Amino acid sequence: MSRTRLLPCTRELSLAVGLLALLVIGVAPMAWLVVSTMADTGLADIGVLALTGRQWHLLGNTLLLGICVGLGTTVVGMPLGILLAKTDTPMKGRLYPVLMLPLCLPPYLLALAWFYVASTRRASTRRSSG
């Protein structure tokens, strides 16, 4: 007895839907930004803006920050992933939710938490009250 599938091309359909979502969510806003910028300013003004030293400096800082964040998360995450996946770590079941918590919080709250931790006002109050 052969089974017939309701949708013969579910794999292709889900791939097409995912690709369409990627295009709509990721590519369309960037394309709109580029087209609207070129329509407002023109190519000559964009060329002048892109060739300033400040733009290259900012681009270098952005690339350096991205590389450092990527390397830092790899250095922290890879050993932690290997530790949790390949060993019998005690309380492994309790570590998973704790390590997933930053993924559930909005980046804005995490940024506020880091500002609070690193604030100089808090450090000075800690010294004066202690």
My answer on whether 59 and 74 are in the same domain is: yes
Q: Determine the angle formed by the axes of helices 92-104 and 53-86, rounding to 10 degrees.
A: 160
In the predicted model, is pLDDT for residue 115 greater than 60?
yes
Q: Are residues 96 and 130 in the same domain?
A: yes
User: Do residue 97 and residue 115 come from a single domain?
Assistant: yes
pLDDT tens column, 53-62: 888 899 899 9
Does 104 have pLDDT greater than 70? yes
pTM above 0.75, yes or no: no
Neighbours of 117 (CB within 10 A): 9
Same domain, 75 and 41: no
